[in-house]
Amino acid sequence: MEPSTRPSVWKTLLAFAILYLVWGSTYFAIRVGVREVPPYLFAAMRFVIAGLLLYGWIILRGEPSPSGVQWASASLLAILFFVLDYGLVYWAEQRVPSGITAVMMATTPAFMALWEISLLRTQRLTVRLAVALLIGLGGVAVLMSRSLNVGGAPIDRAGALAIIVAALSWSVASILTRKLPLPTSQIMSSAVQMLAGGVFLALTAAALGEFRDFHPWNISRGAWLSLLYLTVAGSIMAFTAYVWLIHHESPTKVVTYAYVNPVVAVLLGYFLGGETLGRRTILGALLVLISVVVVTTTRAKKSGTTFPGEDAG
């Protein structure tokens, strides 16, 4: 899984640009879709289609099919990445504005830092890092608090909790991605994870009875276009870029997309979705982004542990 040479700079910059801009816009696209389509079913449609297209294309190119162990690893990651992360985000966006959802998901680097401290042993819990984590939690508290008088209504608690669990699940999956036996081809790894994730999401949708509430002929053109955008740009392009980056850069560096995603999502929600942009949203987002900047710019400690694609020491 470790490449022989560092990837070229332009590939790395392009992959980061896709994460920054495309994933930021997907929050608004999700919001559009879940207004009309049940959340887990909408997510399942996105990832089954994307997974099948990507997997079929790779097989036609002559790539070998993953082994049973690799499929098992991909299935475990699929539950964390798709059912517990995407599924909960889709569900939460029925209750929480898309911009606020992106701000809440920006707490992912804080969880990543905790895993790097406790599991990878590549970070120390310094005063700087502890303060940053507390600032991030303060931002979440501002968005949720019913007693803090900063203007605007607090967000739905059930939706907020779902988003926090989603961010936690994503961070765990990102750590496991570096440790589980997966296909050496990052594109194949993306494809099998998306395909497995789409199947698990469909099973979850069926268990929740969402198919009974789905009537394709009643779905608007806007919802279908959002599905198309999420499938092609948000899944095939962005998730592949993410999986590629997570194999070549440190986890906390990869999640710097969390700087830009909330800004893109908040602006799109405000200008296109009519979402409010009051003092509560601005203050909460500012605190979370300060936390993200500090966490992701905290230097990893020197150790014998290296990330794939990085030099020792």
pLDDT at residue 5 in the model: 66
Mean pLDDT along residues 260-273: 90
Banded model confidence at residue 312, pLDDT cuts 50, 70, 90: very low
Mean pLDDT of the chain: 86
Mean pLDDT along residues 207-231: 94
pLDDT at position 253 over 90: no
pLDDT at residue 311 in the model: 31
68-72, 103-107, 156-160: range with lowest mean pLDDT: 103-107
pLDDT at position 96 over 50: yes
Query: CA end-to-end span of the chain, whole Å?
Result: 20
- Encode pLDDT of 23-44 as tens digits: 899 999 999 999 999 999 999 9
Banded model confidence at residue 159, pLDDT cuts 50, 70, 90: very high
Banded model confidence at residue 299, pLDDT cuts 50, 70, 90: low
Domain boundaries, the chain: 9-297
123-127, 138-142, 253-257: range with lowest mean pLDDT: 253-257
pLDDT at position 305 over 60: no
Mean pLDDT along residues 147-167: 86
Banded model confidence at residue 304, pLDDT cuts 50, 70, 90: very low
